[in-house]
Structure 1
């Protein structure tokens, strides 16, 4: 099957446990996709006989590129500046549509929850969800000092009416950020007699502002990076930084490493607390796909991340009731995604890769973004508004006075 119609999709959405995997392409309205950043950093982690300080200089340049295009734009999301309106509007439409589908769900057996897994570290989902006043569970609990724990996911919430004491489940979104977030921070917290590192919620952008300032100071020392950069050539031609330049590079990297995110490298993690939570969240992702009668929609994800890719393939092979539906951004990427997921070899035939219709005119080529997917696939599932009457009939009734009994007769 290489396509799906509205009725087939409606049955899946209505009768299955819903989960989504959102990649960098879902936030492409503001944040640039990673490109070859992971491959560059993996290459730099290997021994190429280059001087250590030279490698650090090139590595810092790659992280600067990553920071400017993927991390720093979060400042505009938090402050809801005009430049972030497009991506926020995309997530508002997406979340609003899913919330309505949950409210109108015909099954009373399935809970009204959606699991939103994402490799993105931006705050677009949180900001859009709060604007819509949705029940969004991001894994934090607590008022004074919100702490993160994977055990907080999956909580079912209900609301009781004040007048009739009716109990109804509230539609909820579990936002599971596999690679951390710019709103995460690590801190040593006292738990009884012991102290251990924990992830706390950080709503301000002070750290981003600090890193941006350190990046500006080191700008003249860093190499210019773009999507066409040949990292091997750059490393071979790189010059060893002098003492003053090393100070600037180390200052930038020291502050960058305070971010509680999983960096785009093969080993993925550096901080122990992130390492532990990364595996916990991957386990939740794996367990979700093991549920009977589940569906995973994959949007904006290139499937290059081998950890996540292998979990999807294993889930599809071991759970025949799981349906994986992958949306390719461009028609030319359909076969690429099929190959990465071994979709054609899936024993259960339950990995479906959908791509936009091909066009002979490159300028008219349709693409599947989170915005277009919401509009083309999920909005048609919403209940239609009642149809207006074709005509109005004016009926006038006249009520006569009741007959009275005449007792004299």
Structure 2
């Protein structure tokens, strides 16, 4: 089995680990680095599994901006895909959790480079592993028999009991990392009427408590009395969270992704010719999620108070952007005919600097303004000049955050070519 030399491994870890949380990394970074650099062979039980190491090396190469390394990116990708497919049946003691981590990293990587169908496949693999290993039932208030997962026709594998809070925290955060990936993939790549997925299947109840930020587990914040019960359902019912878990940056990120996904679901279900009963049910669901979004917004740290140098600032910007994107998704179907929904959409889009959904709103509004050329004076608020400036600012921020993202490049190209 191929592995880069020690110096290259150090370089790749240094390129990846400072940004790892942005790509769904849920293992403890300090423990991972220490284990990765141990002087043992590739595949040794004391080191991370080949699947997760290969996925991390791939990301390190991708983020390196080193021409010699980038020339080998395809080879690194091929090896990472091979190990993700074969490692679960190996003898590594953490094969399931490490393969889960590899699948998440590969899904984000493939999404980033525009290989969308493959990204969906690896996201689906991650969901299956997480559910099969029972990660959605960690610390469930209702006793249950741990689920064994069968990764081949006749080899059942189950997780060993966690050795400490850090290891249990990896499993908790691992489940929520998979859920966030699932939300992003379904919103980005599924047709509007199909924005659902495995994690919304009948009979699947998520009881795992909200995640802490990774350092919190080492700090002893995972108290013995922390339990979970209908975690996502209770959140969507606007029930108040208690304790640290529901307010960590990681938990806020998960909640924002859930709200964005739920709003996209509702947007896809809307049709103008609903029967009376369907319309009333839709209206009730619409008002309910709108209340949850507004409640959630009140607990977010204001953007004006963020320290641009703080490590969590990037995540908090994304949380705000997802929340505004949820507002846009929820109200966009009504923004042409209803002044309140139009106000919600434009206000959310003005607040956003990071999310493509906001650019959709500006693009739609610019098109509408152009069709009514005399609607506003050229420099008035809400006029074409102001909207174009906000659109370009949003795309510049998106480009700065993800300069190699296929989706971002597509929208940037349309704006630069004057198509909007």
Q: TM-score range by the shorter chain?
A: under 0.3
TM-score by length of 1: 0.27
Greater strand content: 1
Judging by fraction of residues, say which structure has more helix.
2
What is the TM-score when the length of structure 2 is the normalising length?
0.26
Q: Determine which structure has more spread, i.e. the larger CA radius of gyration.
A: 1
> Greater relative contact order (Cα 8 A, min sep 6): structure 1 or 2?
1
